[in-house]
């Protein structure tokens, strides 16, 4: 079996195993084990050949996202094991949670690896169903409300993406025949396809997958879904699911971009990106719920990445860096917020304060991560935002004003949140105080993510830089 | 294949029938009537798939047709009806928009679908093109139904009717690979949503045995 297939099927086999395991502690450890093996397999991917194997393919665009996905998957599994007690799931809930987690991991890997756009669609659908289950797992009215909204909006979204996929096939059929859903074949033949039909397909695919990526005005499921369910789920929702959806948009954009007569795709992405950035920058102020706050920040960053891909040229590389940096730092923030919410017994902003004084490792880690997500150096998002603005000045000078305004407003809101969460007088610990081992296992992933995000920004190895440049070359 | 030939005309008629039932869904006032109309639409989509299987000589489409018929014309309507009976939900459908305005909006959406699809698909086979216009209309009407219904069952039936439109588009694209797998995957999504609705309604029901309390919770739960 080719290595990419093992990366998809291992988590799914693990999901079946975890659904059968009755003991929570054992299941959490098995979950870590499966995620570790997945990471090791993903680390072997760079030594595999680029190219297709059946319905999957490996290329410079999906490889870095797969590596980040496997890494975040493992740290999230560790974090999740450390905080499982605080989540207070019943026996059935615990089994469903672990099975859905690995089911999601396999589906997001397949969504990235799929060469056949039909398979990619199925993978994103499976990822949606798995995450809905995890969001609803506490079964409180708010959780059910959030899961329902998530399900219905994303159900319509992926239904439209399927219509777009069918339209793409109709465009490809006269040229490619039965091969018409393979991304590589579509890319090669796009120049000979009917441009009108490609335009129509692009609109549906952009709206469909854009809903999953949380782009405004299709974002409204995202803050609700991030505020419910175990915090570990928010980390993979923001870190992995949004990337998989944006990656699907990028694949589509490349196909349409390869046809000279089709509409330029850039302005669509720039418009949706700017709308997401500006709305989120305003919404970040006055949020009462910490997880909702950082969910809005995910909308902001998906908007920034989409904007960068819309600008194109060298900004494409900035967009890719942004996706990776956001994935690493945002999941770190959710680890910190989850830990803080468990300590304080509430995820409301006013219940959490003065963390740096009462729990220095947690407080300082969270403070650095929030600064990082606000775009301050020395983390990856500083590098990507800087490059993005620099490219925009050259390509679309008019867009610099709204872009800069959005980035600065959002950063200011995040710094204000940083001050109220991490500094000032500590609020009382009203929740469950975890044991020292659980505390370390809960905080270590946060610092590890920060270290990786700083390492990639300050001293990115040449091989990774080349890989990312090749990936940017694939997006037209 | 073109107008006046039997394979084309039957396919066209079945597609038109699916669209007609999207309008029927829009003006039903009782939940059971909505469920019945949805079952009829599901049966028509299944027949359309089977007919495409005959004309395209594609055996896989018969499987798609059988699965669609079993799920959408039989199983889902039976389950929904049993739930409505057991939970005593039998009453009028609350709509956010009256019948007249919904029908006018529906006609407008069909016009929009035709205006969008026909100019964009001049290079495509005539039947695929007509089917696409019909299926986009069904998709848009499904969305309209989701918007104009206040209760969960109405919204879910809107989503399922939207999915019928997708199936119509997929079977019309002759030779599309994975059509069976994709239509089944879309159906799984629909089944998951139906299961979620049942869980939701049961839960509401179990929390309070008083129907008045249930009524207070309606709509906003969605």
Contact call for residues A224 and A149 (beta carbons, < 8 A): yes
Query: Is residue B1 situated within a structural domain?
Result: no
- Burial (0-12, 13-18, 19+ Cβ within 10 Å), A462: exposed
B55 or A326: whose pLDDT is higher?
A326
pLDDT at A438: 83
For residues A350-377, give the mean pLDDT. 92
Is residue B185 less than 8 Å (CB to CB) from chain A? yes
pLDDT at A298: 95
Query: Is residue B222 situated within a structural domain?
Result: no
Is residue B123 less than 8 Å (CB to CB) from chain A? yes
Listed range (A28-32, A239-243, B191-195) with the worst mean pLDDT: B191-195
Its domain, for residue B212, covers 6-217
Residue for token digits 């009755």? Answer: A22
Contact call for residues A206 and A249 (beta carbons, < 8 A): yes
CB contact under 8 A, A196 and B139: no
Number of CB atoms found within 10 A of residue A294's CB: 27
Is residue A420 less than 8 Å (CB to CB) from chain B? no
Contact call for residues B131 and B8 (beta carbons, < 8 A): no
Q: Which residue of A has its CA nearest to B221?
A: A145
Is residue A124 less than 8 Å (CB to CB) from chain B? no
Contact call for residues B47 and B171 (beta carbons, < 8 A): no
pLDDT at B221: 36
What is the per-residue pLDDT across B97-147, written as a single tens digit (0 to 9) for each? 788 888 999 999 999 998 988 887 777 777 678 888 999 999 999 999 988
Contact call for residues A184 and A57 (beta carbons, < 8 A): yes
> How far is it, in rounded angstroms, from Cα B68 to Cα B59?
15
Instruction: Please determine, for residue A16, whether its predicted confidence score (pLDDT) is greater than 80.
Output: yes
Is residue B157 less than 8 Å (CB to CB) from chain A? no
B146 contacts in chain A (CB < 8 Å): 152, 156
> How far is it, in rounded angstroms, from Cα A358 to Cα A344?
11
CA distance B172 to chain A (A): 9
Query: Is residue A316 situated within a structural domain?
Result: yes
Which region, left, alpha or beta, applies to residue B154 given φ > 0 means left and ψ of -120 to 50 means alpha?
Answer: alpha
CB contact under 8 A, A181 and B119: no
Confidence bin at B203 (pLDDT 50/70/90): low
Element (H, E) at A58: strand A56-58
What is the per-residue pLDDT across A220-250, written as a single tens digit (0 to 9) for each? 899 999 988 888 999 999 999 999 999 999 9
CB contact under 8 A, A145 and B163: no
CB contact under 8 A, B178 and A148: no
* Dihedral sign (CA A425, A428, A431, A432): positive
Instruction: Please determine, for residue B220, whether its predicted confidence score (pLDDT) is greater than 80.
Output: no
Q: Which residue of B has its CA nearest to A164?
A: B166
pLDDT at B215: 42
Query: Is residue A368 situated within a structural domain?
Result: yes
CA distance B60 to chain A (A): 14
CB contact under 8 A, B182 and A118: yes
A178 or B24: whose pLDDT is higher?
B24
Confidence bin at A338 (pLDDT 50/70/90): very high
Instruction: Please determine, for residue B39, whether its predicted confidence score (pLDDT) is greater than 90.
Output: yes
What is the per-residue pLDDT across A404-431, written as a single tens digit (0 to 9) for each? 999 999 999 999 999 999 998 888 888 7
ipTM of the complex: 0.88
pLDDT at B200: 72
What is the per-residue pLDDT across A91-138, written as a single tens digit (0 to 9) for each? 888 899 999 999 999 999 999 999 999 999 999 999 999 998 888 888
> How far is it, in rounded angstroms, from Cα B19 to Cα B165?
8
> How far is it, in rounded angstroms, from Cα B65 to Cα B56?
14
Instruction: Please determine, for residue B25, whether its predicted confidence score (pLDDT) is greater than 70.
Output: yes
Judged by DSSP in three states, B214 sits in helix
Is residue A203 less than 8 Å (CB to CB) from chain B? no
* Dihedral sign (CA B47, B49, B50, B56): positive
Contact call for residues B123 and A174 (beta carbons, < 8 A): yes
The 8-class DSSP code of residue A145 comes to H
pLDDT at A109: 96
pLDDT at B205: 58
Is residue A471 less than 8 Å (CB to CB) from chain B? no
Residues B129, A209, B96, CA angle at the centre, nearest 5°? 80
pLDDT at B209: 35
Is residue B49 less than 8 Å (CB to CB) from chain A? no
> How far is it, in rounded angstroms, from Cα A9 to Cα A471?
25
Query: Is residue A371 situated within a structural domain?
Result: yes
User: In Å, how far from its chain's centre is CA B103?
Assistant: 17
User: In Å, how far from its chain's centre is CA B181?
Assistant: 19
- Encoded tokens for A365: 């880690």
**How many domains does one find in chain A?**
1
Its domain, for residue A291, covers 264-476
Query: Is residue A239 situated within a structural domain?
Result: no
- Burial (0-12, 13-18, 19+ Cβ within 10 Å), A448: middle
CA distance A142 to chain B (A): 9
The three state secondary structure string of A249-264 is HHHHHHHHHCCCCCCC
What is the per-residue pLDDT across B149-158, written as a single tens digit (0 to 9) for each? 877 788 888 9
**How many domains does one find in chain B?**
1
Alpha helices by DSSP H, A312-379: 315-344, 355-358, 360-373
pLDDT at B199: 72
Query: Is residue B28 situated within a structural domain?
Result: yes
- Burial (0-12, 13-18, 19+ Cβ within 10 Å), B142: buried
B119 contacts in chain A (CB < 8 Å): 196
């Amino acid at each position: 079996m080719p290595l990419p297939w093992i990366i998809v099927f291992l988590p799914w086999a693990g999901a079946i195993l975890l659904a059968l395991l009755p003991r929570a502690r054992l299941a959490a450890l098995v979950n870590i084990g499966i995620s570790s093996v997945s990471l090791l397999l993903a680390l072997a991917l760079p030594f595999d050949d680029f190219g297709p194997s059946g319905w999957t393919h490996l290329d410079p665009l999906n490889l870095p996202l797969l590596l980040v996905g496997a890494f975040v998957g493992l740290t999230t599994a560790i974090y999740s094991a450390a905080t499982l007690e605080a989540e207070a799931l019943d026996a059935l809930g615990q089994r469903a949670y672990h099975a859905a987690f690995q089911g999601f991991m396999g589906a997001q890997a397949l969504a990235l690896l799929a060469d056949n756009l039909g398979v990619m669609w199925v993978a994103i659908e499976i990822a949606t169903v798995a995450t809905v289950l995890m969001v609803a797992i506490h079964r409180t009215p708010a959780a059910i409300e959030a899961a329902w909204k998530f399900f219905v909006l994303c159900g319509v979204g992926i239904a439209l993406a399927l219509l777009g996929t069918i339209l793409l096939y109709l465009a490809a059929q006269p040229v490619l025949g039965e091969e018409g859903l393979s991304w590589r074949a579509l890319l090669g033949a796009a120049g000979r396809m009917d441009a009108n039909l490609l335009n129509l397909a692009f609109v549906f695919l952009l709206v469909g997958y854009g809903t999953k990526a949380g782009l405004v005005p299709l974002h409204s499921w995202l803050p609700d879904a991030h505020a419910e369910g175990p915090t570990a789920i928010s980390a993979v929702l923001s870190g992995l699911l949004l990337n998989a959806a944006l990656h699907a948009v990028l694949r589509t954009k490349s196909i349409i971009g390869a046809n000279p007569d089709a509409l330029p795709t850039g302005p669509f992405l720039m418009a949706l990106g700017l709308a997401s950035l500006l709305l989120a920058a305003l919404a970040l102020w006055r949020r009462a719920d910490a997880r909702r706050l950082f969910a809005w920040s995910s909308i902001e960053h998906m908007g920034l990445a989409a904007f960068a891909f819309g600008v194109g040229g060298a900004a494409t590389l900035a967009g890719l860096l942004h996706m990776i940096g956001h994935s690493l730092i945002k999941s770190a923030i959710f680890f910190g917020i989850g830990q803080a919410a468990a300590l304080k017994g509430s995820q409301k902003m006013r219940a959490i304060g003065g963390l740096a004084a009462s729990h220095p490792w947690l407080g300082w880690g969270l403070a650095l991560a929030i600064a990082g997500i606000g775009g301050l150096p020395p983390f990856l998002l500083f590098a990507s935002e800087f490059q993005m603005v620099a490219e925009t000045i050259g390509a679309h000078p008019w867009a610099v004003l709204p872009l800069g305004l959005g980035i600065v407003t959002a950063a200011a809101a995040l710094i204000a949140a940083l001050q109220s969460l991490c500094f000032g007088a500590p609020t009382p610990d009203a929740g469950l105080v975890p044991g020292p081992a659980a505390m370390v296992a809960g905080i270590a992933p946060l610092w590890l993510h920060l270290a990786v995000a700083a390492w990639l920004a300050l001293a990115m190895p040449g091989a990774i830089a080349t890989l990312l440049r090749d990936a940017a070359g694939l997006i037209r | 294949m073109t107008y006046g030939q039997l394979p084309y005309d039957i396919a066209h008629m079945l597609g038109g029938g699916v669209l007609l039932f999207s309008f029927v869904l829009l003006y039903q006032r009782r939940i059971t009537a909505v469920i019945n109309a949805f079952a009829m639409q599901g049966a028509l989509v299944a027949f359309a798939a089977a007919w495409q299987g005959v004309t395209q000589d594609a055996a896989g489409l018969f499987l798609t047709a059988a699965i669609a018929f079993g799920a959408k014309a039989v199983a889902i309507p039976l389950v929904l009806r049993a739930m409505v009976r057991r939970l005593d939900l039998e009453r009028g459908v609350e709509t956010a928009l009256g019948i007249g305005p919904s029908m006018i909006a529906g006609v407008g959406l069909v016009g929009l679908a035709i205006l969008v699809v026909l100019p964009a698909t001049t290079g495509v086979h005539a039947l695929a093109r007509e089917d696409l216009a019909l299926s986009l209309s069904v998709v848009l009407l499904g969305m309209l139904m989701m918007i104009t219904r206040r209760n969960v069952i109405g919204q879910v039936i809107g989503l399922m009717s939207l999915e019928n439109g997708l199936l119509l588009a997929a079977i019309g694209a002759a030779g599309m690979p994975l059509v069976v797998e994709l239509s089944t995957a879309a159906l799984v999504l629909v089944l998951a949503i139906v299961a979620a609705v049942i869980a939701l309604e049961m839960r509401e029901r179990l929390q309070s045995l008083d129907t008045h309390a249930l009524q207070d919770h309606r709509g906003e739960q969605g």
